[in-house]
Structure 1
């Protein structure tokens, strides 16, 4: 059987793990909190905990009963909270949770955990499994592929003004795409590679709010030879309370299909060139994205409330 950390009365096992990296100072951190199915931790308390823990995301996991007909599958209800509100989905939080859970599993004869299933508040089931690339452990989650339509003329004008004010100069942008549901809050901004987004700085990041979008997914091709990946990226969401998302997994739900179409391939490597940085592998298969990342656990403990 599995040895998932066990909560006690108002006592909750916790971990902090960095997603999309093996560097203790890289990737995107997430706090993972294990709950008991009968726990009395209210939604308001979960929100307060997310704010108190002061991590980019707090992930709450509640185990659900195992099914005898599905050996090897361990299931959880999953909730994601940023400091001030709950979010429907967080790729980096789910990758981090996968690392913590798989590290906690002890396999016994006749029982081998090979798949995790996370069910969100909205009823979306995210499957997760361990995979190996170049003899290294990665974690793969399956997410919906996002489509992006061309920005309209009115949208384009508004977006260009917002970026010009944020950057303090005219941006060199080659394509603007607007995410379609469930990624309608994503704005895909493909810069000319000469823009060098690794060193992109904003004089006023809050000016991006005028674009009308929450998540500004910035990307360029990677042909200069500096990075071996197929594309590089950054993500800015100042209206969400944090100017830059250090490594955003779900942003690749819209970027992946775009770059797959541009390059004529289904398997891509990506690098987020934020201050902490991270590496991702993205598989584009029809309506699904196979998002893969490594993770590093940096802290284990217990919360007492």
Structure 2
């Protein structure tokens, strides 16, 4: 069996930056074990698989070790593949996720605008585990549906921060988002999720479903610019739409080929 595979760098317009995702278009679902093995073989933060469904596409995302409930950069990469490489006509793509519901991607000039559910988060105690999760001290901590959000004094703290991956992997969460006000953007962030096989995600779209409502409240505005300060780096345009979040970004093709199994 041959399966198409594309590798796309998301949330960037330059190859070797942003967040790389593999995308595999399918006509029908393969066994979950096979999907997980393909994702492990790819060894990227996420591999996305999609199949046609009604007026859109059902989508699933896998890290090298587990299936995840939501992934922004691999959804953007899937939209890029459909629009530029798989013959999709139109400027609005409907994706359907068992865990996250309907997710739309609007194609507007060179940008892809992802419409995701906003996270619901609340302030939480800065426990010893959270204080020891990095070598910097946050001034506030929050807990969302899947992740902790730690807020720091300045961008330099986020850039120089060193995670304690063992402690983070044992938290009752997918991972931790670290963030601060930015110099060249409204805010910056990084994201660590060793418990799901991703020590540091270069540019995490789903983390911005927590970051966007948080910073929208801080700045008292609904449109924000964001930079993820990983080594690869990436840029996002974020907009809070009541209980939804719009994440805008670019993408660029790195590789296309076939998997033989």
> Which ranges of structure 2 fall in alignment gaps of 5 or more residues?
none
Q: Which residue of 1 aligns with 2:195?
A: 239
Q: Report whether the alignment pairs 1:265 with 2:221.
A: yes
The answer to which of 142-151 and 278-287 deviates more is: 142-151
Summarize the Cα distance change of 1:194–1:172 in structure 2 as closer, same or farther, 3 Å threshold. Answer: farther
Deviation per CA, 1:31-52, whole angstroms, max 9, x where unpaired? Answer: 1001113x6x211111111111
Q: How many residues align?
A: 261
Partners of 2:213 and 2:87 lie apart in 1 by: 37
TM-score by length of 2: 0.93
Deviation per CA, 1:98-138, whole angstroms, max 9, x where unpaired? Answer: 1111102558xxxx512111111336111111124xxxx11
Q: Report whether the alignment pairs 1:290 with 2:246.
A: yes
Partners of 1:211 and 1:275 lie apart in 2 by: 24
TM-score by length of 1: 0.80
SS at 1:173's partner residue? coil
Do the aligned residues in 2 keep the contact of 1:105 with 1:113 (CA within 8 Å)?
A: no
Q: Which residue of 2 aligns with 1:148?
A: 121
Q: Report whether the alignment pairs 1:173 with 2:138.
A: yes
Partners of 2:92 and 2:171 lie apart in 1 by: 40
Q: Which residue of 1 aligns with 2:148?
A: 187
- Higher-Rg structure is 1
SS at 2:5's partner residue? strand
Summarize the Cα distance change of 1:140–1:286 in structure 2 as closer, same or farther, 3 Å threshold. Answer: same
CA offset at residue 175 of structure 1? Answer: 1.4
Q: Which residue of 2 aligns with 1:199?
A: 160
Q: Which residue of 2 aligns with 1:24?
A: 15
CA offset at residue 89 of structure 1? Answer: 1.1
Summarize the Cα distance change of 1:160–1:23 in structure 2 as closer, same or farther, 3 Å threshold. Answer: same
> Which ranges of structure 1 fall in alignment gaps of 5 or more residues?
1-9, 67-74
> RMSD value over aligned CA atoms?
1.8
CA offset at residue 58 of structure 1? Answer: 0.9
CA offset at residue 95 of structure 1? Answer: 0.7
Partners of 2:92 and 2:14 lie apart in 1 by: 25
Summarize the Cα distance change of 1:49–1:286 in structure 2 as closer, same or farther, 3 Å threshold. Answer: same
